[in-house]
Structure 1
Amino acid sequence: MQRELDAYKRQRDKVVQSRTSDPPAFQMALPVNDRGYMPYVTADQQKLIDRITDSYLGRPEHEMEKMWAELRANGLTPEQLVRTATYFINLDGEVVTRAVATGSQRPAQNGSTVWTASSV
């Protein structure tokens, strides 16, 4: 699931970087619950979000209401994603089930900790 989304994001980055004009950036903020989890957006959902939002690039600002209506009709607003997500992700990239993210199930305890480092 994560590999599919990562592959799509790499492909999408190439498309965005190859654009000749600088369209306004569009970012959708996803709510984070009190446990630090936000809904996990699948590759298929991200593709649909990008297709819809890209179709509104260059349009007048007042047409953004139509974009949100189209996102809503496809179940892709932040509130809808929270209600329907099967998986959730935290800021560390940990993907968990809805039960774990909402606290109705405790996460499995691991016997070790993996540390990763990256240069900035």
Structure 2
Amino acid sequence: MQKELAAYKSERDKVVRNRTSDPPAFQMALPVNDRGYMPYVTADQQKLMDRITDSYLGRPEHEMAKMWEELRANGLTPEQLVRTADYFINLDGEIVSRAVATGGQRSTQHGSTAWTASSV
């Protein structure tokens, strides 16, 4: 899982560096539970998230609500990722199962928020 995501991020970085303009950064907050884990975003989820957010580049700011609707429809909002993630990651990069990350609870308790940035 980690190798697939790292390979995608490496390719994605090349695409972003080769852009002729500097688009604004898109930020998404991923909730961190009381055990210090946030949902692990898979390579497939990240690819879809980037495809959606890239499609809104250069659009007027008022269209960002549509972007969030599309992310929501694809299960990619922070709340949806928390509910559906099979794996979680902590700030040290340790990936664990949902049971370990949540102490066996199906839904996580939100302790704080970790911010991730993705250039779009």
TM-score interval w.r.t. the shorter chain? 0.7 to 0.9
Paired amino acid for 1:87: Y
Aligned match of 1:43: 43
Task: Report how many aligned residue pairs link the two structures.
Answer: 105
Deviation of 1:27 after TM superposition, in Å, equals 1.7
> In 2, Cα distance between the equivalents of 1:42 and 1:49?
10
> In 2, Cα distance between the equivalents of 1:57 and 1:34?
35
SS of match in other structure, 2:38:
strand
Q: How does 1:50-69 map to 2 (within 5 A)?
A: 50-69=50-69
* Structure of greater relative contact order (alpha carbons < 8 Å, 6+ residues apart): 2
Structure whose alpha-carbon radius of gyration is higher: 1
Identity in percent: 88
Deviation of 1:20 after TM superposition, in Å, equals 0.6
Aligned match of 1:23: 23
- Going by fraction, where is strand more abundant, 1 or 2? 2
**1:25-61 residue CA offsets vs partner (Å, 9 max, x unmatched):** 1021100001000000000000000000000011000
SS of match in other structure, 1:28:
strand
Q: How does 1:54-93 map to 2 (within 5 A)?
A: 54-93=54-93
**1:88-112 residue CA offsets vs partner (Å, 9 max, x unmatched):** 000000000000000129xxxxxxx
Q: Which runs of 4+ in 1 moved over 3 A?
A: none
TM-score (norm 2): 0.86
> In 2, Cα distance between the equivalents of 1:13 and 1:27?
16
The gaps in structure 1 that reach 5 residues or longer are 106-120
Indicate whether 1:33 and 2:56 are aligned: no
TM-score (norm 1): 0.86
**1:41-92 residue CA offsets vs partner (Å, 9 max, x unmatched):** 0000000000000000110000000000000000000000000000000000
